[in-house]
Each structure stands twice: as structure tokens, then as C-alpha cells.
Amino acid sequence: MQWQELLFTQGFGTRRICAGLIQQGLVRAGGQTLTDATADVEPTEGMAYQVAGVDWAYHAPAYLMLHKPAGYECSQRPGAWPSIYTLLPGPLRQRPGRNATPGVQAIGRLDQDTTGLLLLSDDGAFIHRMSSPKKLVPKLYQVTTADPVTPQQVQRLLAGVVLDDSPRPVRAAACEATGTHTLDLTLTEGKYHQVKRMLAAVGNRVTALHRARIGALALPADLAPGQWRWLTAEDLQALSAAAPAQEPLRA
């Protein structure tokens, strides 16, 4: 691969712009300033380089996590709130698509007011594996409610509740009260507003919602709201180890 092509795949602009970055002496790798945009490079995962003084690491497919803050929409074209994509640096937003996948995208959506762990990628197979309801990847939500959580509510969430868009009941793969007005709820699917609608179906109301874990991958305590980072090999392993939690309920 040529250096200008490497920069192109990593989202630094058209091949012409990438060649220009190198010709202007703005790209460094291996302790040297590059001068030849057509020089060959055999990139390895995580290979370090600098563009305009900023450190980057080469990643063929992009696998990221973001600590989604409240007040952001998971849409490329948001309505009333800013997009989560504005929290990513330009090159991550501009990476060209890979195969049929159009650039880096959020895997599933969290509501504007929901916080917590959000995965992003441009690897279509990975996106499918993480988001397909058939794959039963468990997602742990920490829920705060308006009214006290009762044992009956927990029992009904575990047994299954019918929402307004389908006769098929949806149930929590796991659910336990963690305080008078808080509960941990694990889901293996991701219907629109599912947690909020499930709590409404048992007569309560969600006042705050935080996604703490996907599969065996927990949101790291040191990743502040609004911050992102690359997924490590260990993170990816924790996600692929995500065991099916249960068979889905039939109507």
C-alpha cells in the first residue's frame, strides 16, 4: 500500500489531499518525516504515525467505544440535539466505507437522554453480530425510576410484557432491583425505547437510563462522558465471548 492510500483509508481526505499532507512534511512515521506520498508501507494493526503533530494508530476496520453523554442523538442527521458523531475526530467521521459499509457508524442507538456504552464500527459483519436480535448479545442497563421498584414489577419484566408494536412478549434476560428506585435490566434485543416501554408496561417510568455493559465488555470507569477510544483485542474478545442468555419468547 502507498502512504497516500493508507492516509486515505484512515479518513484524512481524498488521495490528492493525503498526498499533499505528505508533500508538505506533515506526516511522520518511524521517527522520520515522510516526503514521498507513493512510498510503500505495510501497515500493521496499531502502527503509530503522526499527522500535523497528532498521534494516530492504523486500524484496518475501526472498532470504537464511546461513552455517550446525555443530550446527543445517535443519528448522522440529528434533529433537536447534536450528533454523537461530532464527538469523534474528523478522520474517524470521514473514513471511506469498507465493502458495503458506509463509514464508521453507531451499532444500535441510544436515546438522546440515555448515557453509557456505545460501540461504533465500519465492519459490517461485526455490526451485524452485535446488533442482530438473533445473536442474543446481552446489554446491561442501569435504570432509575419515578416510582419505587416493586418485586411484582421485577417479576413481570422477567416473565415478559407485551409492547404496543407486537403481540410477541419481550422479557428481560436478567432483572434485579438495586435500590428503591433503581434496577439493573439486561436485554438481548434492542427495540425502539425498549427499556422505557417495558417499565411503562409494568406501571413505572424511567427517569434516567445508562448502558453499563455489552456482552462481557463494561464501560471503563476512566472513560468520561463524551470520550471515545479504540477497542483493544481484549475488548473484542469480551464481545465475542458474549454468550446467548436465553431463547426469545414466542407469542
Residue for grid cell 409492547: 163
Q: Which of 59, 156, 171, 196 binds ligand URA (CB under 6 A)?
A: 196
| Contacting range for ligand URA; rule: CB under 6 A; set: 26-34, 87-95, 192-200, 237-245 | 192-200
Residue partners of 134: CB distance under 8 A and separation at least 6: none
Give me the least distance between CB of 170 and ligand URA, in Å please.
Answer: 11
Give me the least distance between CB of 129 and ligand URA, in Å please.
Answer: 19
The answer to the question of residue 193 lying near ligand URA (CB under 6 A) is: yes
Task: State which of positions 114-153 bind ligand URA (CB under 6 A).
Answer: 114
Determine the 3-state secondary structure of 177 from DSSP: strand
The answer to the question of residue 111 lying near ligand URA (CB under 6 A) is: yes
Angle CA(72)–CA(146)–CA(165) in degrees, nearest 5?
65
The answer to the question of residue 105 lying near ligand URA (CB under 6 A) is: no
- Distances from the Cα of 37 to the Cαs of 5, 52, 90, 153, 189, in angstroms? 8, 15, 21, 63, 46
The answer to the question of residue 209 lying near ligand URA (CB under 6 A) is: yes
Q: Which of 2, 83, 194, 240 binds ligand URA (CB under 6 A)?
A: 194
Give me the least distance between CB of 121 and ligand URA, in Å please.
Answer: 19
DSSP 7: H
**111 is an active site residue:** yes
* Choice among 36, 40, 55, 111 that is catalytic: 111
Give me the least distance between CB of 141 and ligand URA, in Å please.
Answer: 6
Report the alpha-carbon distance of residue 242 to residue 6 in Å, rounded.
32
The answer to the question of residue 195 lying near ligand URA (CB under 6 A) is: yes
Report the alpha-carbon distance of residue 231 to residue 237 in Å, rounded.
10
Residue among 236, 73, 226, 245 nearest 171 (CA): 245
Site residues (vs ligand URA, CB under 6 A):
110-111, 114, 193-196, 209
Q: Which residues are catalytic?
A: 111
